[in-house]
Amino acid sequence: MGVFTLVTAAALLVIAGFVKEISKEPTVAGPAALTAHTHPTARPSARARSSESSANVPEINDGSSGLSYRLLASPWQRGCPADLNTPMFSWTAGESTVAGRVDIYGTYIDWHGDACSGLLQQQFAYSGPGDLEPVTMSLANALEPAYYGGLRYDRTIEGSSAITVSGHRAWEVTFLMTYPDAANQDLAWTSEAAAVVVVDRGAGLAPAVFYTSVPSNLGTSNVTALVSSVRLNR
């Protein structure tokens, strides 16, 4: 995914606003300050994720969230980029690779493709499976300004649907980022596919979260492959 390490105070204020509104809105639209055009696309109401695991396929195993998922082939490596952790987001396992370097306000940073997992933070109020849809959408909206705000972009919501992960109720939101100034900013990609999945782990347990974002030069089909591989081990 695109990693914008210089999270601004304005972005955090936008994030705080989304969290505050979770309990009021069943779904949350993109930030009003953005020029993104969202066009939700209907998906099957429940898509089961395979619980099968192949011993020949390397995996990421997150002991904190209980999630496991496929480790992509080189140049992907184990480890969620540390600078994705913010006061609002905490990832306990993952994988990533560098898509390229970008100039953010005169500072060059690595922009990653990644897949990360962890537990839903308490700022995102969750009381049970009925909250899966609004919480997942609010999480996706909160991640957007924090991780993509260093570049000019448009966002399209491509799907929002109920799924199951290893028999547990879950929700998936997928979206596409496009970069109209890619050529002027010397980007090696023009778009980026992403997905957020929130999995209910049962009463009294914080939901598990899976997030992946892959620029087009790394193969956006990897997003589908990664999400399809997600399992809950407990």
pLDDT, tens only, 179-218: 999 998 889 999 999 999 999 999 999 999 999 999 999 9
- Helix H or strand E encompassing 37: none
Q: What angle do CA 176, 182, 184 make, to 5 degrees?
A: 160
pLDDT band at 1 (very low <50, low <70, confident <90, very high): low
Structure tokens at 178: 């496009």
Q: How far apart are CA 169 and CA 187, in angstroms?
A: 38
Q: Are 99 and 111 in contact (CB under 8 A)?
A: yes
Dihedral over Cα of 47, 48, 52, 53: its sign: positive
Q: Say whether pLDDT at 100 is over 50.
A: yes
Q: Position of tokens 């306000």?
A: 105
Average pLDDT, the chain: 82
Residues 6+ apart with CB under 8 A from 203: 128
Question: Which one has a higher pLDDT value, 65 or 53?
Answer: 65
Q: What is the pTM of this model?
A: 0.79
- The secondary structure of residue 36, as a DSSP letter, is -
Q: How far apart are CA 31 and CA 214, in angstroms?
A: 21
DSSP E strands, 135-224: 154-165, 168-178, 191-199, 208-215
How large a percentage of the chain has pLDDT more than 70? 76
Q: What is the β-pairing status of strands 59-61 and 47-49?
A: unpaired
pLDDT band at 2 (very low <50, low <70, confident <90, very high): low
Residue 55: what pLDDT?
60
- The secondary structure of residue 146, as a DSSP letter, is H
Of 214, 216, 6, which is closest to residue 108 (Cα–Cα)?
6
pLDDT, tens only, 149-186: 889 999 999 999 999 999 999 999 999 999 999 998 88
pLDDT, tens only, 83-96: 899 888 999 999 99
Residue 28: what pLDDT?
32
pLDDT, tens only, 102-132: 988 888 899 999 999 999 999 999 999 999 9
pLDDT, tens only, 22-36: 333 333 333 322 233
Domains located in the chain, CATH noted: 36-219 (3.40.1000.10)
Question: Which one has a higher pLDDT value, 63 or 42?
Answer: 63
Q: How far apart are CA 224 and CA 227, in angstroms?
A: 5
Rounded CA Rg of the chain: 16
Of 81, 80, 97, 83, which is closest to residue 7 (Cα–Cα)?
83
Residue 199: phi and psi, rounded to 5, are: -115, 125
Residue 42: what pLDDT?
37
The total number of residues shown for the chain amounts to 234
